[in-house]
Amino acid sequence: MSGPNGMLYGGDEIGALVFDPGHHSLRVGYAQEDTPKADIPAVVGVGPATHIPDAEEKVPDGNITQSGTKAGNELRHYIDVTELHVPRPGMEVQTYMKDGQVDNWDLFEKMLDYCYAKVIRSPSEHHPALFTEAVWTTRPAREKLAELLFEKYQAPAFFLVKNAVLAAFANGKSTALVVDAGASQTSAVPVIDGYALVSAAVRSPVGGDHLAAQAKTMLTNMHIQMLPIYSIQSKEVIRERERARYTLKTLPAGLTHSWQQYMLKRQYEDFCHCVAQVSESAYDERTAVLVPGVHYEFPGGYHQDFGPERFKLTECLFEQTLGAPHLVTSAVSACDADARVALWGSIVMCGGVAGASGWAERVGRELANRAPSSHRLKTHAPPAPLERRFAAWIGGSILASIGSFQQMWISSQEYDEGGKGQLERKCP
């Protein structure tokens, strides 16, 4: 904290927690660490409490714990991959997120319970909590969150920061244009001196989910079957493009549609993650053919090389008015003329889709064509895909451990005195 010569440096850690809820997953961990402690899928499995898992359904480590979930209304909630990815009859998969903000508070509470009990393993009243939020989060949703944290979890302090601001901080900027390519949407938010400009923020519904849906369509058109991985008992080694030979598992009856869809979506995401590549410039069959293909084996055992399809797949992320480059230009042009130079000079890219290989390069290239020539264009993207994905969380981790930030928390005393109305003032 302070050196021998009386100079102040570094941060001051007060045991704060950082929560970064997203559409794809919730990131949670201690401030001052470089990666979140847990990255939990942002869905909750809700199933009948009476079900007792059979031995054969157990995941390899056999880690099916009862304590992580609570029985309420004779329902059990299954959270995190070890619980959720087990086939259970009657278990519906539900998400608590909607349009970038928490929508189903009961489920979200279950999620927070799980975080404190299984991830943090420490009582919530010991840790100030910093939450990230989307720029367009509505006032009721923010106040509801504060209420939940203070009243149910007895948090000593609470703070809410816009995720675009945190992503800028994670990249060492206080003024930046943050392009966040997330699961459900892509957004471009100008950040000036650590404040997000709400009125200039733009977003489009193209994101990782859209990409996964595209992958599904593409594979269907190619007549490749994506078998659910949990349904495969065993498979044989076959030659490339040969018909798959496998035996199916006997699954419990009554698996819900939502759960099956969720599991399949994870597989399509995996496929995109392994295969999809963003081409340097707009898709061109001739150049795409020249790039060596990528091999992918499907759960059933079928495997083949993917060549130009990998590039074709990602073109849906760069549609004329929905792609990130267009969002950036429209967000910048909505800003004051004086701020534009600074914004063009630091464009920060983050989000799960931004980790796709070639994405950042493509955006940078397209922006170079769109940016006014009088501006210096500079794009920043952390080199590691994981850092791009966790940018907002990392920013939160940095912010919550800075010594001069410790005066910003809304403490429980302040909440008791001023109520939730002060949230708008204290967390801009």
Partner 1 sequence: MADILDILDIEHPGAGEISRDSIIHGDKIKKKYITAKSVKRPEGMHREVFALLYNDSNKDLPPLLPTDSGKAYKQTKAKLGMRKARKWTWAPFNNPARKDNAVFHHWKRASDEAKEYPFAQFNKQVSIPSYTESEYNQYLKSEDWSQAETDHLMDMCQRFDLRFIVIHDRWDRAAFRDRSIEDLKERYYGICATLSKVKTNPWSNTVTTVNGEKRIYHYDAEHEKKRKEQLKRLFDRTQDQIDEEQMLLTELKKIEARKRERERKTQDLQKLISRADSGNMPVTNTVPNNTEATHTPSNVSTNNIVRRHDRKLHKKKLSTQQRPVRTMETVTVEWSGIKFPEARSTGVWLRSQRMKLPPGVGQRKTKAIEQELRLMNIDIAPTPTEAICKHFNELRSDLALALDLKNALAACEFDLQALRHQYEALNPGKTLPIPASLCNTTDGETKPMGEIIDVVGSPSALNSTI
x/- string (CB under 8 A) for partner 1, residues 155-184?
-xx---------------------------
Residue in 140, 372, 419, 421 binding partner 1, rule: CB under 8 A? 372
In the shown chain, the binding pattern of residues 108 to 127 toward partner 1, with x for contact by CB under 8 A and - for none, equals --------------------
Query: Interface with partner 1 includes 73 (CB under 8 A)?
Result: no
Rounded to whole angstroms, how far apart are CA atoms 347 and 148? 35
Asked whether position 345 contacts partner 1 by CB under 8 A, the answer is no
Tokens of 245: 């030979």
CB of 209 to partner 1, least distance (A): 29
290: contact with partner 1 by CB under 8 A: no
Question: Is 29 a residue that touches partner 1 (CB under 8 A)?
Answer: no
Position 138 contacts partner 1 (CB under 8 A)? no
339 binds partner 1 (CB under 8 A): yes
Residue 399 within binding range of partner 1, rule CB under 8 A: no
Q: Choose, by CB under 8 A, the member of 69, 395, 409, 420 that binds partner 1.
A: 409
- Smallest distance from partner 1 to CB 338, Å: 7
Cα gap 387→54, rounded to integer Å? 38
Tell me if 289 contacts partner 1 by CB under 8 A: no
Burial 55-68 (b: 16+ CB within 10 A, else e): eeeeeeeeeeeeeb
Among 393, 420, 383, which Cα is nearest to 142's?
Answer: 420
- Please say which residue, 197 or 391, places its beta carbon nearer to partner 1: 197
**CA 150 to chain centroid:** 25
Task: Please report, for the chain, how many H helices and E strands are present, in that order.
Answer: 15, 21
What is the closest distance, in whole angstroms, from the C-beta atom of residue 330 to partner 1 in the complex?
13
Of residues 155 and 211, the one with the C-beta less far from partner 1: 155
Q: Give the number of residues written for the chain.
A: 428
Nearest CA-CA partner of 41 in 268, 326, 266, 271: 266
In whole angstroms, how close is the CB of 344 to partner 1 at the nearest point? 9
Helix (H, G, I), strand (E, B) or coil at 274: helix
14, 97, 130, 354, 402 from 1: Cα distances, Å? 12, 38, 21, 34, 10
Give, in order, the Cα–Cα distances in Å from 222 to each of 219, 227, 241, 243, 423. Answer: 5, 14, 12, 14, 52
* Least Å from the CB of residue 300 to partner 1: 50
Identity at 14, one-letter amino acid code: I
Which residue type occupies 256?
T
Q: Strand 347-350 to strand 379-380: parallel, antiparallel, or no bridges (unpaired)?
A: parallel
For partner 1, the binding residues in 188-207 under the rule CB under 8 A are 192-193, 195, 197-200
Give least dist CB 322 to partner 1, A: 22
Q: What DSSP designation does 99 have?
A: T
Q: Are strands 129-133 and 97-98 parallel, antiparallel or unpaired?
A: unpaired
The answer to whether residue 321 forms part of the interface with partner 1 (CB under 8 A) is no
Binding of partner 1 by 414 (CB under 8 A):
yes
- Asked if 128 touches partner 1 (CB under 8 A), the answer is yes
- Interaxial angle between packed helices 337-345 and 324-333, expressed in degrees from 0 to 180 and rounded to the nearest 10: 150
Binder of partner 1 out of 154, 205, 336, 419 (CB under 8 A): 336
Cβ proximity to partner 1, 2 vs 138, nearer residue: 2
Binding interface with partner 1 (CB under 8 A)? 1-2, 4, 8, 12-15, 128, 156-157, 192-193, 195, 197-200, 333, 335-340, 372-375, 402-404, 406-407, 409, 411-414, 417, 425, 428
